[in-house]
Structure 1
Amino acid sequence: MFNRETYQQRRAALVRQTGKGLLVLPGNGDSPSNYTDNILPFRQDSSFLYFFGLDLPDLVGVIDLESGEATLYGDDPGLDAIVWTGPLPTLAAQADGVGVTHSAPLSQLPDRLRTARQTGRTLHLLPQYRPQNRIRLADWLGINLREVDVLTSPDVTRAVIQLRAVKSLEEIAEIENALAITKQMHLTAMRMAQPGVTEQSIAGAIEGLAWAHGRRQSYAPILSKRGEVLHNHHHDNTLVAGDLLLNDSGAESPLHYASDITRTIPVGGRFNDRQRAIYQTVLDSQLAAIAALKPGVPYLDIYELSARVLIEGLKPLGLFKGDTDEIIHSGAFALIFPHGLGHMLGLDVHDMEALNEDWVGYGEGYQRSHDFGRKSLRLARPVQAGWVVTVEPGIYFIPTLIDRWQAEDKFTHLINYARFADFRDFGGVRIEDDILITSDGARVLGDPIAKSIAEVEACVGH
């Protein structure tokens, strides 16, 4: 955990920004995998971690938004639990460690919540993403499941988003701690990317490396030579000379701050001419986007800049034609770039999106598009100093998408489908880094991870 003052300051900052009532923050419980006692690895709710810092199951935090008083609800471990888990701290000791002076058994929580409602006090919830917690809240409050969502508080949720979005120096240090392990994971994948090696062996090696450092991966890795499948979690291919291996993977820090890095690797150590041209275009796009980031610049503008560099790089290859502005504004560019440019990063790899993706990434003056490609842009509003965001442009040749658009005669005056036929077997390229918005610009977090053509080629097999 951070020191107890950190959590006290976070709770006090939330109280200053919100109104009356009680904020109820359920921590997560254990989740069974295939039967009750075979549980998945425990992961605490990130907002609970942010305000209470405790990484144990079945805890609930309540913050009085008028007095500022916080209470931790849970149960002291009994002998039966200790036999199976070993000694655990008492509830009072856990509370004291994060600067909470009041603690009580979980059995007392329903009475407090029902009494609060009966006396006219407002109960605030953040959006609930786990069915288990929604069921518990409904039971404690004596309401049906549908009524739980009614208690979601937009104002308090937005206040939490505002606080969590700006990272302190100690949070940035946690992200860079995660990136140190992530760098080793990516260099390991580069060294192993040789003909005859299976994707499974590389995926297993990088996961084992994370566990060897006492970490877990921050998300299920995307590691595949089928890089055109954007969220490809299958690792069942054997690498062949000439393949491109896309590795999108990251680790968590000891306090669960995430990293998120993508590199695209030439199997055997050399890009061919076609791969070199596409890769350099993606790299140019990413570098231009990072250079343009600074406080007050809408991320939507950075996304469009990134798309512009991609299109200008692909025109000499004969893939696109006509006016670049029209290619971007019409949506024709989404044929090769069908996702957003990035997202916030922090305690969640897609930070705070459980709190409402649009509240996190959009805001006054920014309306989410329903157009193909643009609808996947998770962040559009102006960035602020202290935010950490990912920048991850890509180029993908997706045969099913190409065939569909060509059959529908979409954008035929802007897209050269005959030339796209030459790239049907290409796959995809994506390059991603984690970026801190500074007071006057942006910087890439962590030690550099090879990404120029020369650097990546030098790493493969060495």
Structure 2
Amino acid sequence: MAGIGREERSGSIGRGVSRRWLDFMATGWREEEVDLSPVAQVKHLARRRALLSAVFPGDTLVIPTGNIHSRTFGAPYDFRAGSDFLWLTGDQDPDSVLVMHPTGMGHDAVLYVRPRSDSASGAQYLDMTHGEIWHGRRFSPGEKAVRLGIETRVLGELPGVLGRVASSDRLRVLRGYDRGIDGGLERGVLPVTAGNVARDGLLASVLSELRLVKDEWEIAQLQDAVDATVRGFEDVARRLRPDGVTAERFVDGVFAWRARVEGNGVGYSSVVAGGGRSTILHWSRNDGVVEPGQVLLLDMGVENVNGYTADVTRVLPVSGSFSVAQRDVYDIVYAARTAGLGVLAPGVAFVEVQEVCNRVLAEGLRGLGLLRGSVEEALDPSSLEYRRWSLHGFGHMLGLDVHDCGHSRPEFYGGGVLRENHVLTMEPGLYLQPHDDLVPAELRGVGVRIEDDVQVTASGARVLTEALPTQSHEVESWLAAQREAGPREPGTDDH
């Protein structure tokens, strides 16, 4: 990438540049045409903001998208808009801030955005941080208003706006996203008291809770992300060697290729875990090798172009067939997954689904000879012996975040009940560590998680990931068919 010298570290190249060069650079630029078509979700945005407005009448609400962060000096991470902000505005650019100004009838929503960098002032080419020659053309505030269907003003007006309400007890700020806004809180420009922190925390919780039930457009986006993810799993299966060593990093890269071609990239760090690493729940170094005879646990998801992510896990027998021991563990997890799906329906408590999955896992562990006592003893809260081999819950919400709506209050999420058009994962698992002496030798190093993405419907559940098989014999047949089809290049040949 273009280098940064010492004179450029301030974010500007203006020092030491001649007036002649500046005058030359200020002229001769033709205006670039841009597509001002409304964003795909525009018809849903006003309704979403109205839902938020109804919860906080009379309050000023400040919801930033966030800033670009540095990976290393002079090399930024790719920007990802804050999910609450994205849900309310459809805007995926950094630094913007949504402010909902209270009115007698609700709120006026105003989006404060960074203006274009013009050539006359030199900002277009002198400002390395925001200049358009460095980073590409931005939409002007007026152009954004057309695309997003919202009143839009320049970001420079925001300090004055916030200053006028800083002392109000009717101000709520979504914290942790914008350095400037958080810095204002820390410096006392915006007050920080116990009451303010609680008010701001409630804003974060309500935003999560409003996003729990997906609208029809969101469900279509999640299906789109799932479909791309399925193709990514197929890509991996077609390149996985049955009789030789495959690097986990290679597998990671094959899926990332698909994710970047069809979406924004991966929705989270992919887990590519061969052999004993399949028992490590969040293995993401992906620096091992996959060998014949092992299982390969793949936990991966594509984030689509509108920010919605899939979250899918499958376990493949590298050689093409599960061993007896591997199949025994796999089939227990499959039974738990099937039992859990069978009880998903509106009005069912999250804890009930968890209990159903836990019982099947405990019964399976008993059958493998791992439990010291009965199933009931293993499930007893004072024991929870089964959790030695299954540490996590049955699933989580899914949407713009892989672990979506995480700021929801317990009564709306883990301590509440399912609602129609919740979208969540179903992902029971068993993990028999290689160094666990309580596990028979033939079972050590076998980790199995089967994760599907599921929409709660009026009468039950719809599995969005049904195109990827889950029964052990179906997985074997699918893997054989993918290998027979042979490798392909994402984006050129498949849909």
Whether TM exceeds 0.5 here: the answer is yes
Question: CA, structure 1 residues 143+61, in 2 after alignment: closer, same or farther (shift >3 Å)?
Answer: closer
Match for residue 238 of structure 2?
191
| Aligned equivalents of 2:249, 2:193: Cα separation in 1 | 42
**Counterpart residue type for residue 178 of structure 1:** A
Please give the residue correspondences for 1:314-329 in structure 2 after superposition, counting only pairs within 5 Å. Answer: 314-329=365-380
Please give the residue correspondences for 1:2-401 in structure 2 after superposition, counting only pairs within 5 Å. Answer: 2-35=40-73, 37-66=74-103, 67-79=106-118, 80=124, 81-101=131-151, 103-118=152-167, 120=168, 122-126=170-174, 128-130=175-177, 132=179, 135-138=182-185, 142-143=189-190, 150=197, 152-194=199-241, 195-225=244-274, 226-329=277-380, 330-353=383-406, 356=407, 359-360=408-409, 362-363=410-411, 379-399=414-434
**Counterpart residue type for residue 108 of structure 2:** E
Give TM-score, length-normalised by structure 1.
0.86
**Counterpart residue type for residue 148 of structure 2:** V
Listed one character per residue, the Cα deviations across residues 306-330 of structure 1 (whole Å, up to 9, x for unaligned) are 1111121232222225332221122
Instruction: Please report the RMSD computed on the Cα atoms of aligned residues, expressed in angstroms.
Output: 2.3
Listed one character per residue, the Cα deviations across residues 411-451 of structure 1 (whole Å, up to 9, x for unaligned) are xxxxxx3xx14256323100000111111211101452122
| Aligned equivalents of 2:272, 2:456: Cα separation in 1 | 28
Per mean C-alpha deviation after superposition, the further-off stretch among 3-12 and 420-429 is 420-429
- What is the number of residues matched between the two proteins? 424
| Aligned equivalents of 1:265, 1:227: Cα separation in 2 | 11
| Identical pairs, percent | 29
- The residue matched to 1:104 in structure 2 has which SS? strand
Question: CA, structure 1 residues 303+39, in 2 after alignment: closer, same or farther (shift >3 Å)?
Answer: same
Listed one character per residue, the Cα deviations across residues 213-257 of structure 1 (whole Å, up to 9, x for unaligned) are 243100000111111111001222222221010000000111001
- The residue matched to 1:382 in structure 2 has which SS? coil
| Aligned equivalents of 2:394, 2:41: Cα separation in 1 | 35
Question: Which has the larger Rg?
Answer: 2
Give TM-score, length-normalised by structure 2.
0.80
**Counterpart residue type for residue 167 of structure 1:** K
| Unaligned residue ranges in structure 1 (runs of 5+) | 365-377, 404-416
Would you say 1:444 and 2:450 are equivalent positions? no
Question: CA, structure 1 residues 159+147, in 2 after alignment: closer, same or farther (shift >3 Å)?
Answer: closer
**Equivalent pair of 1:397/1:423 in contact (CA under 8 Å):** no
**Counterpart residue type for residue 96 of structure 1:** V
| Aligned equivalents of 1:424, 1:3: Cα separation in 2 | 48
| Aligned equivalents of 2:146, 2:84: Cα separation in 1 | 19
Question: CA, structure 1 residues 263+136, in 2 after alignment: closer, same or farther (shift >3 Å)?
Answer: same
Listed one character per residue, the Cα deviations across residues 312-366 of structure 1 (whole Å, up to 9, x for unaligned) are 123222222533222112211101101111110011000022xx3xx35x228xx
| Aligned equivalents of 2:195, 2:280: Cα separation in 1 | 37
**Equivalent pair of 2:84/2:208 in contact (CA under 8 Å):** no
**Counterpart residue type for residue 13 of structure 1:** L
**Equivalent pair of 2:263/2:303 in contact (CA under 8 Å):** no
| Aligned equivalents of 1:424, 1:265: Cα separation in 2 | 16
| Unaligned residue ranges in structure 2 (runs of 5+) | 1-38, 119-123, 125-130, 485-495
**Equivalent pair of 2:66/2:178 in contact (CA under 8 Å):** no
